[in-house]
C-alpha cells in the first residue's frame, strides 16, 4: 500500500480538522503551520493535499491552489473534496462551465455531501441561471430537509429574482436551523436594511460579526448598519479598525467619508478621501468613491470631472456612467433620444428593487408605449402593477415568455425626446379609483382643513418627523402617509391622523393623496404620487440633488405642481424646514386645489 493510500492516523486527521477550524475562523497562518507539519509526514496524501488547496483558496492564492489541485485531481479523480476545490478554483477564475462540471462530478461521487451541490447552485447563480440554481437547492433540500444551506440558497435565488420578501422568508428558515452562521446572518441583515429596518439589520450584523470577527466583508457590513442606525461613532471606529490593516479598502474609505458627511464634517471626509484618491491615481474605484462623496456633499461640479477620469481609466465602469447621467439629469440635462430604443408593444421589465418613486416618475411614458390595442406589457412586481393600473391604459402583466423581446424599464428616458420645457407642460397622469377617493373624502371631512399629507425619513441623516412637524401651521390636520415601521414614530405625534394603517396598497394611497390639500416630505413615493396626481406640495431634497427632483426656479421639472426645497449641505435641514413652512402657509392661504375627478379639476 502506498503512503498516499494508507489510512491517516488519528493525530494527522485531528490536525487537519484543527486546520479546517482555523480556516473557518480566518486564522490562516495557524492553519498553515499545522498543515506544513502534516505535509512533511504525508506529502502525497489526497486529504492533506485537499486541505492545503483549501487553505490556498481561502488566502486567494490561486496559482498555488492550481499547482496543488491540477495534479492532485488527475491522480485522485474519485476524491470528491479535491474535485470540489478544483471547481471552486475554476469559479474564482471565471470559468463557470468547468466549475459546474466539477461540482456535478463531486456531487455524484459523494451524494450525501452538501458542499458540491451548494457550490453548484452558487455557480449557476453566477451564470445567471436562477432556475437551475433553484433546481439544485430543491435537490439538496430533498436529500437534507433541514439543511440551512439549502434554505440559504433559496434566499439567494429569490434575491436574484428581485423578490426580497421571499428571500427574507428563506433566510429566516435557514437561520432557524443554523442560528450563528455568519453568511446567513449577513444576508438576512442586508435584506432588512434594504427594507428600511435598520434596527433589526444592525442586530443581525452584530451577531454575524461575533460569529466571524475576522471576516472583512462581515465587518464592513456591520459598519454600514451602524451608520444607517445613526450610531456614527461606532461606525467610524469599525471602519478605522479594518483600515488599520486594509488601508486600500475602497468600500470602507467611501463609507467613512459618508459618516463624516452625515456628522457635518464634510471637509474632513472629502479631504481624507481626496488624499487616498491622489495616492491611487490609476484606480477608477477610488475616483468613483470620491465622486460619490462629492455629490453627497452637494458638489456635482467636483464629482463630474472625477467620473470622467474614472471612465477614461475604465470606459465600461457602470457606476461611473450611471452617476454621471444622474448628475446631468439633476441639472436638467437629458440624454438624446435613441431611435427605437423601446418600440411600442414591447414588454418592459421592472426590477423589484426599483424605488417606487422612480416607477411613478417613469410611468408617465407608458401610454406612449401601448400596442395597437392600447395595452402596455409589463413584467413587474404586483405592487408596481397596482400603480400602473391607475394610468389611462390597459395592462398585460406577466413574466416574459422565453424568446420574447424585453426592454429595461429604466431605459425609458432614452426612448423619448425630453427637455425642461416639455416636462413643464406635462399634466397629471394618475387617476384615483372614484369609490376609494370618495370614501377617503368622507373620512377626512371629520377633520379640519387644510389636510396636509406628511412623510419623513427614518434613517440617519434624513429629514426626521420632528422637523416635518415643525413645518406645519397650527391650523388644519396633519395626515401621516407613513406605513409599516414608520408608523411607530407617531407615538410622539398623537394629533396626527394615522392614515398609514389603512394604506394596504398603492390604490389606497393614490385615492387618499388625491384628496389632500398639500403633501410635504422628502424623496419618497408619496411625493411622486402627489406630483403625478397634480396635487400641490413641497419635496425636501438632499444636497446630493436626486435626479428625480431636478427643478427650475424652485418648481419640479417632472411635477410642475410641486415645489422643491434643497439642502445647502448634508444634515442642514433648518432652511429647508423654513421653506416648507412658508410654502404650506402660501398653499393653504390660496384655498384647496380641485381634487382629481372633481368637475373643475384640471384636465
The CA distance from 219 to 191, in Å, is: 16
CA distance 91 to 80: 16
Task: Give me the pLDDT at residue 339, please.
Answer: 61
Short-list 343, 350, 347, 352, CA closest to 404: 347
Spell out the residues 6+ positions from residue 115 whose beta carbon is closer than 8 angstroms to its own: 84, 106
- Give pLDDT, residue 601: 40
The answer to whether 327 and 304 are in contact (CB under 8 A) is yes
User: Average pLDDT of the chain?
Assistant: 89
Q: Is the pLDDT of residue 343 over 80?
A: no
Closest CA to 69 of 101, 96, 46, 91: 46
Which residues are paired to 375 by β-bridges?
A: 394
Grid cell at residue 96:
463557470
How far, in Å, are 153, 367, 415, 568, 576 from residue 352 at the CA level?
19, 21, 21, 32, 31
63-75 per-position pLDDT tens digit: 999 999 999 999 9
The winner for highest mean pLDDT among 32-36, 275-279, 335-339, 551-555 is 275-279
Q: State how far Cα 410 lies from the chain centre.
A: 15
Q: Per-residue pLDDT for 468 more than 60?
A: yes
Sorting pLDDT into bands at 50, 70 and 90, what band is 571? confident
Question: Is residue 1 scored above 50 in pLDDT?
Answer: no
Q: Is the pLDDT of residue 6 over 60?
A: no
Distance CA 244, CA 246 (A): 6
Contact in structure between 12 and 41 (CB atoms under 8 Å): yes
Exposure of 361 in the CB half-sphere (CA atoms within 13 A) = 25
Residue 145: predicted pLDDT? 94
Distance of alpha carbon 600 from alpha carbon 592, whole angstroms: 12
Is pLDDT of 432 > 90?
Answer: yes
Q: Where are the beta strands (DSSP E) in 298-372?
A: 347-349
Residue of 290, 392, 409, 304 whose CA lies nearest to 346: 409
What is the pLDDT confidence band of residue 8, given thresholds at 50, 70 and 90?
low
355 pLDDT higher than 70:
yes
pLDDT surpasses 80 at 588: no
In this prediction, residues 358-387 reach a mean pLDDT of 87
Q: How confident is the model at residue 13 (pLDDT cuts 50, 70, 90)?
A: confident
Q: Most confidently modeled of 343-357, 365-379, 475-489, 507-521?
A: 507-521
Contact between 462 and 456 (Cβ < 8 Å): yes
The residue-averaged pLDDT of 9-23 equals 82
pLDDT digits (tens, 9 = 90+) for 535-548: 999 999 988 889 99
Q: Of 94-98, 412-416, 450-454, which range is least confident?
A: 412-416
Residue ranges of E strands in 375-467: 375-379, 394-397, 406-408, 451-454
Cβ atoms of residues 586 and 578 within 8 Å: no
Amino acid at each position: 500500500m502506498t503512503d498516499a493510500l494508507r489510512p491517516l492516523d488519528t493525530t494527522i486527521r485531528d490536525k487537519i480538522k484543527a486546520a479546517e477550524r482555523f480556516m473557518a475562523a480566518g486564522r490562516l497562518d495557524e492553519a498553515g503551520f499545522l498543515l506544513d507539519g502534516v505535509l512533511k509526514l504525508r506529502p502525497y496524501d489526497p486529504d492533506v493535499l485537499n486541505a492545503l488547496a483549501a487553505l490556498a483558496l481561502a488566502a486567494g492564492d490561486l496559482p498555488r491552489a492550481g499547482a496543488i489541485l491540477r495534479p492532485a485531481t488527475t491522480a485522485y479523480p474519485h476524491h470528491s473534496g479535491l474535485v470540489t476545490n478544483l471547481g471552486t478554483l475554476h469559479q474564482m477564475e471565471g470559468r463557470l462551465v468547468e466549475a459546474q462540471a466539477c461540482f456535478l462530478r463531486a456531487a455524484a461521487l459523494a451524494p450525501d455531501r452538501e458542499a458540491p451541490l451548494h457550490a453548484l447552485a452558487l455557480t449557476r447563480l453566477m451564470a445567471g441561471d436562477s432556475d437551475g440554481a433553484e433546481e439544485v437547492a430543491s435537490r439538496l433540500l430533498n436529500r437534507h430537509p433541514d439543511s440551512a444551506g439549502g434554505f440559504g440558497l433559496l434566499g439567494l435565488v429569490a434575491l436574484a429574482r428581485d423578490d426580497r420578501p421571499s428571500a427574507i422568508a428563506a433566510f429566516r428558515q435557514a437561520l432557524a436551523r443554523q442560528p450563528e452562521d455568519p453568511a446567513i446572518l449577513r444576508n438576512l441583515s442586508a435584506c432588512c436594511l434594504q427594507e428600511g429596518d435598520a434596527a433589526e439589520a444592525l442586530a443581525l450584523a452584530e451577531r454575524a460579526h461575533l460569529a466571524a470577527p475576522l471576516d472583512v466583508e462581515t465587518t464592513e457590513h456591520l459598519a454600514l448598519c451602524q451608520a444607517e442606525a445613526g450610531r456614527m461613532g461606532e461606525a467610524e471606529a469599525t471602519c478605522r479598525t479594518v483600515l488599520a490593516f486594509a488601508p486600500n479598502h475602497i468600500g470602507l474609505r467611501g463609507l467613512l467619508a459618508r459618516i463624516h458627511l452625515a456628522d457635518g464634517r464634510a471637509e474632513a471626509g472629502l479631504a481624507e478621501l481626496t488624499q487616498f484618491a491622489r495616492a491611487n491615481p490609476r484606480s477608477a474605484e477610488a475616483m468613483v468613491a470620491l465622486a460619490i462623496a462629492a455629490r453627497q456633499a452637494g458638489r456635482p461640479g467636483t464629482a463630474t470631472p472625477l467620473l470622467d477620469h474614472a471612465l477614461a481609466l475604465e470606459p465600461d465602469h457602470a457606476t461611473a456612467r450611471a452617476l454621471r447621467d444622474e448628475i446631468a439629469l439633476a441639472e436638467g440635462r437629458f440624454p438624446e433620444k435613441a431611435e427605437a430604443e423601446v418600440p411600442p408593444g414591447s414588454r418592459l421589465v421592472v426590477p423589484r428593487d426599483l424605488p417606487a418613486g422612480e416607477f411613478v416618475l417613469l410611468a408617465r411614458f407608458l401610454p406612449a408605449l401601448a400596442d395597437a390595442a392600447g395595452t402596455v406589457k409589463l413584467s413587474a412586481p404586483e405592487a408596481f402593477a397596482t400603480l400602473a393600473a391607475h394610468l389611462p391604459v390597459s395592462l398585460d402583466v406577466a413574466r416574459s415568455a422565453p424568446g420574447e423581446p424585453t426592454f429595461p424599464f429604466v431605459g425609458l428616458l432614452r426612448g423619448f425626446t425630453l427637455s425642461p420645457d416639455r416636462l413643464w407642460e406635462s399634466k397629471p397622469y394618475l387617476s384615483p379609483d372614484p369609490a376609494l377617493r370618495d370614501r377617503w373624502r368622507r373620512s377626512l371631512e371629520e377633520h379640519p382643513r387644510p389636510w396636509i399629507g406628511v412623510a419623513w425619513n427614518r434613517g440617519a441623516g434624513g429629514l426626521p418627523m420632528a422637523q416635518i412637524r415643525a413645518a406645519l401651521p397650527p391650523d388644519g390636520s396633519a395626515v401621516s402617509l407613513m406605513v409599516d415601521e414608520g408608523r411607530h414614530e407617531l407615538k410622539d405625534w398623537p394629533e396626527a391622523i394615522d392614515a398609514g394603517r389603512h394604506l394596504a396598497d398603492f390604490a389606497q394611497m393614490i385615492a387618499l393623496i388625491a384628496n389632500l390639500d398639500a403633501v410635504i416630505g422628502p424623496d419618497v413615493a408619496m411625493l411622486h404620487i402627489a406630483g403625478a396626481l397634480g396635487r400641490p406640495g413641497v419635496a425636501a431634497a438632499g444636497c446630493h440633488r436626486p435626479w428625480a427632483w431636478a427643478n427650475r426656479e424652485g418648481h419640479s421639472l417632472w411635477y410642475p405642481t410641486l415645489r422643491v426645497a434643497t439642502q445647502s449641505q448634508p444634515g442642514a435641514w433648518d432652511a429647508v424646514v423654513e421653506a416648507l413652512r412658508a410654502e404650506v402657509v402660501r398653499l393653504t392661504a390660496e384655498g384647496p386645489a380641485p381634487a382629481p375627478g372633481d368637475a373643475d379639476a384640471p384636465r
